[in-house]
């Protein structure tokens, strides 16, 4: 609530962009970190969207009943919700790039389970894919603030999240095209599995945060730079 001891004054803040630590859009787009992060989110987003949106059709094509396929879709929805809560919990305790690698690895396991075509494995695969899809929205916002600060957070987050949405559309389209061309979901699933592996490698290159939390005791507003931007 901003309560301070009697006689103490808090840090002044005019609300201007210059009061916030971080990079502008022009500066951020010239960094290697920005393109690593956006590329990783694009690959992961395309993969999890493709799996979740085509889940029911994928399972019924493999001989699983419509009722079971519908239930698996519900499990994916539950995984999405758990991914939102779980990613927030983990981001408060561990390095964000490692959390992203963890959820991406789970999504990769989910694709492997979906490739098996078995009912029990399909439920677990749907859960893991949903977890990855749910976590990504939180990860985008958090990593954007930690690697680029708040100076142009709204604009940078808009570009990053827009990439995630575009990835979802591309992933669903490519999954459908892959099925039409090959008559099976196996080939596109293997392709998306490879895409997630690349995304994990990209996340591993992000390194430590460049901006930390606000330090009120020193009278600084916004995010404090903890390392030089790449």
Q: pLDDT (tens digit, 9 = 90+) per residue, 168-188?
A: 999 999 999 999 999 989 999
Return the sign of the alpha-carbon dihedral for residues 207, 96, 225, 144: positive
In angstroms, the CA 20 to CA 23 distance is 9
Angle at 149 between CA 148 and CA 151, to 5 degrees: 105
- CA separation (Å) from 126 to 28, 73, 116? 35, 7, 12
Please name every residue paired with 211 in a beta bridge, in sequence order, or none if there are none: 225
| Model confidence at 121: pLDDT above 60 | yes
In a domain, 56, yes or no: yes
In a domain, 3, yes or no: no
Closest of 98, 93, 47 to residue 203, by C-alpha: 98
Contact call for residues 200 and 139 (beta carbons, < 8 A): no
Structure tokens at 122: 């399909």
Residue 225's pLDDT band (cuts 50, 70, 90) = very low
In a domain, 191, yes or no: yes
In a domain, 22, yes or no: no
| Higher pLDDT pick, 21 / 113 | 113
| Higher pLDDT pick, 193 / 20 | 193
Residue 216's pLDDT band (cuts 50, 70, 90) = very low
pLDDT value for 215:
44
In a domain, 159, yes or no: yes
In a domain, 5, yes or no: no
| Model confidence at 220: pLDDT above 80 | no
In a domain, 157, yes or no: yes
pLDDT value for 139:
94
What does the pLDDT look like over 127-169, one tens digit per residue? Answer: 999 999 999 888 999 999 999 999 999 999 999 999 999 999 9
Stretch 50-72: mean pLDDT, rounded? Answer: 87
| Higher pLDDT pick, 221 / 4 | 4
Residue 19 burial class via C-beta count within 10 angstroms: exposed 0-12, middle 13-18, buried 19 and up:
middle
Q: What percent of the chain has pLDDT over 70?
A: 84
Contact call for residues 139 and 160 (beta carbons, < 8 A): no
Q: What percent of the chain has pLDDT over 90?
A: 61
pLDDT value for 8:
54
Structure tokens at 160: 């990053």
Contact call for residues 179 and 188 (beta carbons, < 8 A): yes
Residue 5's pLDDT band (cuts 50, 70, 90) = low
193 is in which domain, residue-wise? 33-218
In a domain, 115, yes or no: yes
| Model confidence at 221: pLDDT above 90 | no
Q: How many domains does the chain have?
A: 1
Closest of 58, 88, 223 to residue 150, by C-alpha: 223
Rounded to the nearest 5 percent, the helix, strand and coil shares of the chain are 70, 0, 25
Question: What is the domain-level CATH number for residue 178?
Answer: 1.20.1250.20
Structure tokens at 152: 């142009």
Contact call for residues 81 and 176 (beta carbons, < 8 A): no
pLDDT value for 224:
40
């Amino acid at each position: 609530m901003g309560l301070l001891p009697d006689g103490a004054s808090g840090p002044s803040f005019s609300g201007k962009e210059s009061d916030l630590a971080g990079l502008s859009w022009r500066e951020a787009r010239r960094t290697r970190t920005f393109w690593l992060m956006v590329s990783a989110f694009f690959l992961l987003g395309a993969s999890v969207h493709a799996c979740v949106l085509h889940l029911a059709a994928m399972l019924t094509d493999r001989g699983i009943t419509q009722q079971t396929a519908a239930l698996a879709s519900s499990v994916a929805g539950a995984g999405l919700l758990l991914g939102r809560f779980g990613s927030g919990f983990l981001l408060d305790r561990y390095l964000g790039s490692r959390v992203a690698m963890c959820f991406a690895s789970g999504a990769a396991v989910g694709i492997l389970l979906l490739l098996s075509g078995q009912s029990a494995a399909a439920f677990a695969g749907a859960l893991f894919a949903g977890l990855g899809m749910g976590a990504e929205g939180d990860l985008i916002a958090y990593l954007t603030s930690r690697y680029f600060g708040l100076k142009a957070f709204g604009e940078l987050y808009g570009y990053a999240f827009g990439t995630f949405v575009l990835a979802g559309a591309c992933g669903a389209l490519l999954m459908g095209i892959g099925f039409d061309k090959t008559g099976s979901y196996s080939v596109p699933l293997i392709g998306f599995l490879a895409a997630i592996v690349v995304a994990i490698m990209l996340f591993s290159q992000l390194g430590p945060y460049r901006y930390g939390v606000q330090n009120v005791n020193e009278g600084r507003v916004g995010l404090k730079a903890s390392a030089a931007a790449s």
